[in-house]
Amino acid sequence: MSEYEFTLKFRLPDVDADPEQFIDALAEAGCDDATVGIGQQGRIALDFTREAADALEAIVSAVQAVKGAIPGAELIEASPDFVGLTDVADLVGCSRQNIRKLMISNPETFPAAVHEGSQAFWHLRPVLVWFSETQKRPIDRSLIEVSEVTMKVNIAKETRRMSGVGLLKELETLFA
């Protein structure tokens, strides 16, 4: 068994509901290994430190526990996944400027951003793997594992949300 750290953010079924009313139900459902955040109206976030055989088991069991405690809760985001340069710098232990310099000087191998604009965002997993493999930086394997699962959860969630749109098969040809 290993310990995995991740955050799950949910939309509550009733946006006017007081999120504090769910805290006892969450503990009873097995979320006593999470710190609950209730800052935004209609949302609840849980920072987990969960023991499991692997990251997938940890995250799936946590999502199931939350949905059991709060019927109708909708998963908004699993993290760590989306990161900016500052996040990457914090995780790999160097300055933001150093990360930017590495990104600019390695355009052929540095992972492509998910979003480029005034601030760029990446999926964390490919960036961590890049640092591990090309820069030979020691990266915690459990962080890579969690970031892979959270990335897949977020992609699957969005793919499911978009499945009713009807263009998915046509759009898939763009990436073949």
- What are the start-end ranges of the E strands in the chain? 2-11, 34-37, 43-52, 74-79, 82-83, 122-123
* Same-domain status, 130 and 108: yes
Same domain (yes/no): 13, 58: yes
Q: Write the pLDDT tens digit of every residue in 134-149.
A: 999 999 999 999 999 9
On the question of pLDDT at 161 being above 90, the answer is no
pLDDT, residue 176, reads: 61
Instruction: Give the tens place of pLDDT for each residue, 34-65.
Output: 999 988 889 999 999 999 999 999 999 999 99
Domain tally, the chain: 2
56 and 134, same domain (yes or no): no
Q: What is the CATH number of the domain that holds 17?
A: 3.30.70.3400
- Indicate whether 11 and 89 sit together in one domain: no
In a domain, 92, yes or no: yes
Instruction: Tell whether the model's pLDDT for residue 174 goes beyond 80.
Output: no
- Asked whether residue 175 is assigned to any structural domain, the reply reads no
Q: Nearest 5 degrees, angle CA 144-CA 146-CA 173?
A: 85
Over 60: is that where the pLDDT of 166 sits?
no
102 and 25, same structural domain?
Answer: no
What's the CATH number where 122 sits?
1.10.1660
Is residue 114 a contact partner of residue 125, using CB atoms and an 8 Å limit?
Answer: no
Distance spanning both ends of the chain, measured CA to CA: 38
Mean pLDDT, residues 138-161: 93
Q: What are the structure tokens assigned to 114, written together?
A: 């998910």
Q: Which of 12-16, 29-33, 144-148 has the lowest mean pLDDT?
A: 12-16
- Residue 19 pLDDT: 82
pLDDT of amino acid 168: 59
Query: Mean of the per-residue pLDDT values for the chain?
Result: 92
- The more confidently predicted of residues 63 and 21 is 63
Residues 153, 68 within the same domain:
yes
Q: What is the pLDDT of residue 169?
A: 64
* Residue 66 belongs to domain spanning: 2-79+145-169
Indicate if 65 and 113 belong to the same structural domain. Answer: no
pLDDT value, residue 160: 82
3-state helix, strand, coil in the chain (%, to 5): 50, 20, 30
Q: Are residues 107 and 122 in the same domain?
A: yes
Residue 50 region by backbone torsions, left for phi larger than 0, else alpha for psi between -120 and 50, else beta:
beta
Of the candidates 143, 45, 52, 41, the one whose C-alpha atom is nearest the C-alpha of residue 92 is 143
Largest CA distance in the chain: 51
Indicate the residue type of 128: L
Distance CA 128, CA 29 (A): 33
**Does residue 26 contact residue 46 with C-beta atoms inside 8 Å?**
yes
* Digit-coded pLDDT (tens) for 71-116: 999 999 999 999 999 999 999 899 999 999 999 999 999 999 999 9
Q: Is residue 46 situated within a structural domain?
A: yes
The DSSP bridge partners found for residue 78 are 8
12, part of any domain: yes
